[in-house]
Amino acid sequence: MAFQATSGAVDLPPAFYPRQPIPTLLTLELARNSHLAHALRPQLTMSMVGTLRLGAAPPQTIIYVSVSLEQGLALWARDAAVAHAAEGDANESDPTTMQRMPGGTYTLPLSVQVPATPRLPPSFAVPGAHFAVSYALEVALTVDAGAAGGRVVLAHAARSFDMLPETLPTPPPAEVCHALWVPGAVGDGAAAARWRLTPSLPTSTYSPTSSIPLQLRIEPPPEGSARRALVRVSLVRRERSDAQRATIDVSSAWGWVRPAAGTATTVRYALPIMTAATWAHGFSTVLNVDAAHGSGGGMTVIVSSTFHLLVQAVFLADDEALGAWFEELGEQPFESGQFSRARAGAADDKAAWDALVARHSAAQRTLSLPVILGSVSEPRGALHAYHWSDLLLGADGSAGRMVEGEAFSSEDGWMCAPPTYSQALDDIPYVY
């Protein structure tokens, strides 16, 4: 069983979207000196199976959809009879020719459509994760077991594939102003001053190869002691499975800014999501398996892998030297408003930052912005526009005229570059 393009014999990478037709080629090989008798009532079925693996627990089936390929068997039997009848009179006089499928190689082109339901999350297989979600197409050839009853499996094949997330553009998250009271320095009456932080994002959905453009508006109090704000921006993955909880730093960077008293300052930084050569954190995944649907012994299972953009700000007195903080965070001094280079979740950097936050717990704030990491291609079957032309003949068969037009097709277009967010808002390119 192979996933092949409709034009040519090129195998497609096994990765598809919901509702996308999968061009599948099914091949059955019977030994030349064998046959398959019709009296055994052979049945050919294809199934799509989704499986959840959770630690050492037995695998749970989250979806099992089967369809009969009985017509495919009938086509094979008819083609075999025609082929053997064309070989000569000897085969034509054999009464068993129409009662069995002789040995040989049989192929059946199919188009399988992935079902679309909110219950099916994308495939999830991350090294070190506590759970995994996988999908496969399975084909089974069964026959009657005779006097024993039941069915016997003669052949079984399975081909795994990745279910990609169907990610559409999303509007920007709501902008929320967060206020905090920063204690004053010793000598100015220890009066607390109110600072305001307002983060904003252009959208909440991103692909692993993109960056997250953050704008952080910092509003200092109208008067008071001058302070510097150290800002750390990080993308984290939060994993939940059964009783397990885990938070993994994906990428992070930090910078500093000194707002003038009474003047709001906007910090802009685009955090690269993928800092390594490959992406090893999967997509946003949420799965709730009820006891009635799963095979987990009557228990409801909830697993998820979600992403959050953390914006952490620590306010330091202006007379505190930043040299020590640069040295502790492992960076060379840079100017106000600039950020360090993005790093993959480094434990040393996070430990140094956590220690800094602990020493200034009353003058820090952490903001969590949920984001969605989706696929890198256009969903909905990856339809693309193409130009066509045809000759339209007259009713009497006389010379006609050429007609032209445009249409949409998924052939050779299963992987297309996505539009920009602004383009998607102006003109949605998806076809339903």
Residues 228 and 363 in one domain: yes
Q: For residue 169, is it within any domain?
A: no
Q: How many CB atoms lie within 10 A of CB 361?
A: 8
| Secondary structure (DSSP) of 115-143 | ---TT-PPPB--TT-SEEEEEEEEEEEEE
Mean pLDDT calculated for residue range 312-327: 74
Q: What's residue 369's pLDDT? A: 92
Domain of residue 25, CATH code: 2.60.40
Q: Provide the number of structural domains found in the chain.
A: 3
| Secondary structure (DSSP) of 24-48 | EEEEEEEEEEEEEEGGG--EEEEEE
Q: What is the rounded distance in angstroms from the CA atom of residue 250 to the CA atom of residue 307?
A: 9
Mean pLDDT calculated for residue range 391-413: 63
Pull the structure tokens for residue 54: 């959770």
Residues 205 and 130 in one domain: no
Q: What is the rounded distance in angstroms from the CA atom of residue 360 to the CA atom of residue 229?
A: 12
More confident residue, 124 or 378: 124
Look up the domain containing 122 and give its range: 2-163
Contacts for 289-296: CB closer than 8 Å, 24+ residues apart: 289/52, 289/60, 289/62, 293/62, 293/119, 294/52, 294/60, 294/61, 294/62, 295/58, 295/60, 295/61, 296/57, 296/60
Q: Which residues are CB-neighbours of 299 under 8 A, at least 6 positions away?
A: 291
Is residue 359 very low, low, confident or very high in pLDDT (cuts 50, 70, 90)?
confident
Least confident window among 114-128, 201-215, 244-258: 114-128
Return mean pLDDT, the chain. 75
Mean pLDDT calculated for residue range 67-79: 78
Residue 414 reports pLDDT greater than 50: no
pLDDT digit string, tens, across residues 183-229: 765 455 556 778 889 999 988 888 888 889 999 998 888 876 678 88
208: enclosing H helix or E strand:
none
Q: What is the rounded distance in angstroms from the CA atom of residue 52 to the CA atom of residue 1?
A: 23
Pull the structure tokens for residue 330: 């492992």
Q: Say if CB 199 and CB 367 are below 8 A apart.
A: yes
Residues 328 and 416 in one domain: no
Q: What is the rounded distance in angstroms from the CA atom of residue 288 to the CA atom of residue 131?
A: 13
| Signed CA dihedral, 331, 336, 338, 342: sign only | positive
The domain boundary residue, chosen from 110, 131, 163: 163
Residues 349 and 416 in one domain: no
Q: What is the rounded distance in angstroms from the CA atom of residue 307 to the CA atom of residue 322?
A: 31
The domain boundary residue, chosen from 346, 373, 400: 373
Residues 339 and 412 in one domain: no
More confident residue, 398 or 261: 261
